[in-house]
Protein backbone atom coordinates (compact mmCIF):
# COMPACT_ATOMS: atom_id res chain seq x y z
CA UNK A 1 0.00 0.00 0.00
CA UNK A 2 1.42 3.38 -0.90
CA UNK A 3 1.44 6.51 1.24
CA UNK A 4 -1.48 8.49 -0.12
CA UNK A 5 -0.72 12.14 -0.66
CA UNK A 6 3.01 11.74 -0.10
CA UNK A 7 4.04 9.44 -2.93
CA UNK A 8 4.20 11.95 -5.76
CA UNK A 9 6.54 14.24 -3.85
CA UNK A 10 8.57 11.33 -2.53
CA UNK A 11 8.90 9.74 -5.96
CA UNK A 12 10.07 13.03 -7.44
CA UNK A 13 12.69 13.44 -4.74
CA UNK A 14 13.98 9.90 -5.33
CA UNK A 15 14.04 10.34 -9.09
CA UNK A 16 15.93 13.63 -8.70
CA UNK A 17 18.45 11.94 -6.41
CA UNK A 18 19.47 9.31 -8.97
CA UNK A 19 23.21 9.66 -9.64
CA UNK A 20 23.18 11.85 -12.73
CA UNK A 21 26.37 10.54 -14.31
CA UNK A 22 25.37 6.91 -13.80
CA UNK A 23 21.91 7.53 -15.22
CA UNK A 24 23.28 9.40 -18.25
CA UNK A 25 25.79 6.67 -19.05
CA UNK A 26 23.25 3.88 -18.62
CA UNK A 27 20.93 5.72 -20.99
CA UNK A 28 23.73 5.88 -23.57
CA UNK A 29 24.24 2.13 -23.29
CA UNK A 30 20.53 1.41 -23.69
CA UNK A 31 20.26 3.63 -26.75
CA UNK A 32 23.30 2.00 -28.32
CA UNK A 33 22.62 -1.64 -27.49
CA UNK A 34 19.00 -2.32 -26.57
CA UNK A 35 16.69 -0.52 -29.00
CA UNK A 36 15.66 -2.02 -32.34
CA UNK A 37 13.09 -0.81 -34.86
CA UNK A 38 10.86 -2.97 -37.07
CA UNK A 39 7.79 -5.10 -36.43
CA UNK A 40 7.78 -7.03 -33.17
CA UNK A 41 5.30 -9.03 -31.12
CA UNK A 42 5.54 -8.25 -27.41
CA UNK A 43 4.89 -10.56 -24.46
CA UNK A 44 1.47 -8.93 -24.15
CA UNK A 45 0.61 -10.15 -27.65
CA UNK A 46 0.43 -6.69 -29.17
CA UNK A 47 2.65 -5.59 -32.04
CA UNK A 48 5.14 -2.75 -31.80
CA UNK A 49 7.34 -0.78 -34.18
CA UNK A 50 10.22 -0.95 -31.71
CA UNK A 51 11.65 -3.46 -29.25
CA UNK A 52 13.78 -2.97 -26.14
CA UNK A 53 16.04 -5.98 -25.63
CA UNK A 54 17.50 -5.13 -22.25
CA UNK A 55 19.39 -8.44 -22.08
CA UNK A 56 21.94 -6.91 -24.46
CA UNK A 57 22.70 -4.41 -21.71
CA UNK A 58 21.99 -6.23 -18.45
CA UNK A 59 24.89 -8.66 -18.80
CA UNK A 60 27.45 -5.96 -19.60
CA UNK A 61 29.85 -5.28 -16.72
CA UNK A 62 29.65 -1.48 -16.86
CA UNK A 63 25.89 -1.36 -17.34
CA UNK A 64 25.03 -3.73 -14.51
CA UNK A 65 27.29 -1.80 -12.12
CA UNK A 66 25.61 1.49 -13.07
CA UNK A 67 22.20 -0.11 -12.71
CA UNK A 68 23.02 -1.35 -9.21
CA UNK A 69 24.09 2.12 -8.15
CA UNK A 70 20.86 3.64 -9.48
CA UNK A 71 18.60 1.00 -7.90
CA UNK A 72 20.34 1.45 -4.56
CA UNK A 73 19.88 5.20 -4.76
CA UNK A 74 16.21 4.91 -5.72
CA UNK A 75 15.31 2.50 -2.92
CA UNK A 76 17.73 3.28 -0.09
CA UNK A 77 15.15 5.29 1.88
CA UNK A 78 12.28 2.80 1.50
CA UNK A 79 13.44 0.47 4.29
CA UNK A 80 13.17 -2.62 2.09
CA UNK A 81 14.52 -6.03 3.00
CA UNK A 82 14.35 -7.65 -0.45
CA UNK A 83 14.30 -6.77 -4.14
CA UNK A 84 13.49 -8.93 -7.16
CA UNK A 85 10.94 -9.87 -9.78
CA UNK A 86 10.01 -12.18 -12.60
CA UNK A 87 12.73 -14.15 -14.37
CA UNK A 88 14.80 -13.40 -16.43
CA UNK A 89 15.19 -9.64 -16.48
CA UNK A 90 14.93 -9.12 -12.74
CA UNK A 91 17.75 -11.56 -11.92
CA UNK A 92 20.76 -9.38 -12.89
CA UNK A 93 18.90 -6.30 -11.61
CA UNK A 94 18.36 -7.81 -8.15
CA UNK A 95 21.97 -9.02 -7.99
CA UNK A 96 23.28 -5.59 -8.95
CA UNK A 97 21.13 -3.88 -6.30
CA UNK A 98 22.18 -6.34 -3.58
CA UNK A 99 25.87 -5.76 -4.36
CA UNK A 100 25.47 -2.00 -4.02
CA UNK A 101 23.55 -2.31 -0.77
CA UNK A 102 26.47 -4.31 0.61
CA UNK A 103 28.99 -1.83 -0.81
CA UNK A 104 27.18 0.96 1.02
CA UNK A 105 26.93 -0.93 4.31
CA UNK A 106 23.33 -2.09 3.97
CA UNK A 107 21.64 -5.47 3.97
CA UNK A 108 19.36 -6.66 1.19
CA UNK A 109 18.07 -9.98 -0.11
CA UNK A 110 17.74 -10.55 -3.83
CA UNK A 111 15.20 -12.98 -5.28
CA UNK A 112 13.43 -13.94 -8.47
CA UNK A 113 10.01 -15.33 -9.30
CA UNK A 114 9.76 -18.33 -11.60
CA UNK A 115 7.27 -18.07 -14.43
CA UNK A 116 6.27 -21.66 -13.76
CA UNK A 117 6.69 -23.97 -10.80
CA UNK A 118 9.47 -26.56 -11.14
CA UNK A 119 8.39 -30.19 -11.16
CA UNK A 120 11.04 -31.11 -8.61
CA UNK A 121 12.78 -29.75 -5.52
CA UNK A 122 10.94 -27.25 -3.31
CA UNK A 123 8.50 -26.35 -6.12
CA UNK A 124 8.52 -22.74 -4.95
CA UNK A 125 8.02 -19.93 -7.41
CA UNK A 126 9.82 -17.34 -5.29
CA UNK A 127 13.51 -18.25 -5.27
CA UNK A 128 15.65 -16.53 -2.67
CA UNK A 129 14.99 -15.45 0.89
CA UNK A 130 11.70 -13.56 1.14
CA UNK A 131 10.01 -13.85 4.51
CA UNK A 132 6.56 -12.85 5.78
CA UNK A 133 6.57 -9.21 6.80
CA UNK A 134 9.47 -8.21 4.54
CA UNK A 135 9.13 -4.85 2.79
CA UNK A 136 9.88 -5.58 -0.86
CA UNK A 137 10.59 -3.70 -4.09
CA UNK A 138 9.49 -5.63 -7.17
CA UNK A 139 11.41 -4.89 -10.34
CA UNK A 140 11.44 -5.70 -14.05
CA UNK A 141 13.48 -4.53 -16.99
CA UNK A 142 10.59 -3.13 -19.06
CA UNK A 143 7.04 -2.13 -18.13
CA UNK A 144 4.33 -2.15 -20.78
CA UNK A 145 0.86 -2.81 -19.39
CA UNK A 146 2.17 -4.04 -16.04
CA UNK A 147 0.80 -7.57 -16.47
CA UNK A 148 4.09 -9.39 -15.89
CA UNK A 149 5.05 -7.48 -12.76
CA UNK A 150 1.59 -8.03 -11.30
CA UNK A 151 2.28 -11.77 -11.56
CA UNK A 152 5.46 -11.30 -9.55
CA UNK A 153 3.70 -9.09 -7.01
CA UNK A 154 1.02 -11.74 -6.49
CA UNK A 155 3.64 -14.41 -5.72
CA UNK A 156 5.54 -12.13 -3.32
CA UNK A 157 2.35 -11.24 -1.48
CA UNK A 158 1.43 -14.92 -1.34
CA UNK A 159 4.44 -15.58 0.91
CA UNK A 160 3.33 -12.81 3.23
CA UNK A 161 5.68 -10.00 2.21
CA UNK A 162 4.56 -6.42 1.63
CA UNK A 163 5.29 -4.87 -1.77
CA UNK A 164 5.98 -1.18 -1.20
CA UNK A 165 7.54 -0.15 -4.52
CA UNK A 166 7.90 -1.17 -8.16
CA UNK A 167 10.70 -0.16 -10.48
CA UNK A 168 11.81 -0.78 -14.04
CA UNK A 169 14.58 0.32 -16.33
CA UNK A 170 12.27 1.47 -19.13
CA UNK A 171 8.58 2.35 -18.93
CA UNK A 172 6.98 2.09 -22.38
CA UNK A 173 4.19 4.43 -21.16
CA UNK A 174 1.47 2.00 -22.22
CA UNK A 175 -0.55 1.62 -19.05
CA UNK A 176 1.72 0.25 -16.32
CA UNK A 177 1.83 3.49 -14.36
CA UNK A 178 -1.95 3.76 -14.34
CA UNK A 179 -2.27 0.22 -12.97
CA UNK A 180 0.57 0.29 -10.45
CA UNK A 181 1.07 3.84 -9.15
CA UNK A 182 -2.19 3.95 -7.18
CA UNK A 183 -0.90 1.12 -4.94
CA UNK A 184 2.90 1.25 -4.96
CA UNK A 185 5.71 3.77 -5.05
CA UNK A 186 6.38 3.90 -8.80
CA UNK A 187 10.03 4.29 -9.78
CA UNK A 188 10.94 3.91 -13.47
CA UNK A 189 14.52 4.82 -14.29
CA UNK A 190 13.69 5.85 -17.86
CA UNK A 191 10.67 6.14 -20.10
CA UNK A 192 10.64 5.55 -23.84
CA UNK A 193 10.74 9.32 -24.28
CA UNK A 194 14.25 9.25 -22.79
CA UNK A 195 15.12 6.89 -25.66
CA UNK A 196 13.69 9.35 -28.19
CA UNK A 197 10.50 7.33 -28.78
CA UNK A 198 6.99 8.71 -28.48
CA UNK A 199 4.39 6.25 -27.12
CA UNK A 200 1.48 5.36 -29.36
CA UNK A 201 -1.44 7.72 -28.61
CA UNK A 202 -4.08 5.98 -26.54
CA UNK A 203 -1.83 3.00 -25.75
CA UNK A 204 -2.22 3.52 -22.01
CA UNK A 205 -6.00 3.33 -22.17
C-alpha distance from residue 78 to each of 50, 72, 164 (Å): 33, 10, 8
CATH number, position 111: 3.40.50.2020
pTM given for the model: 0.85
> Is 172 a member of any domain?
yes
Torsion of CA 145, 141, 182, 173, to 10 degrees: -50
> Is 124 a member of any domain?
yes
SS3 label, residue 181: coil
Containing structural domain, residue 81: 7-193
> Is 142 a member of any domain?
yes
> Is 204 a member of any domain?
no
83 vs 5: CA distance, rounded Å: 24
> Is 97 a member of any domain?
yes
> For the segment 134-193, what is each residue's pLDDT rounded down to a tens digit?
999 999 999 998 999 999 999 999 999 999 999 999 999 999 999 999 999 999 999 999
Number of domains in the chain: 1
Q: pLDDT band for position 25 (50/70/90)?
A: very high
Residues 6 or more apart whose CB falls under 8 angstroms from that of 143 comprise 149, 168, 170, 171, 172, 176, 177, 180, 188
> For the segment 15-24, what is each residue's pLDDT rounded down to a tens digit?
455 688 999 9
> Is 126 a member of any domain?
yes
How many Å separate Cα 149 from the centre of its chain? Answer: 8
> Is 200 a member of any domain?
no
Residues 6 or more apart whose CB falls under 8 angstroms from that of 96 comprise 64, 65, 67, 68, 71
Q: Is 167 in contact with 187 (CB distance < 8 Å)?
A: yes
> Is 171 a member of any domain?
yes
Amino acid sequence: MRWIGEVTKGQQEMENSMPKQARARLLELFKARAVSFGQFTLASGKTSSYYINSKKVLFNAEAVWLLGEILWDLTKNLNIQAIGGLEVGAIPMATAAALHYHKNGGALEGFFVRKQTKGHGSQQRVEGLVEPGFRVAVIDDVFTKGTSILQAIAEVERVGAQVVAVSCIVDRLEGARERLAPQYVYLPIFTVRDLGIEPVPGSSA
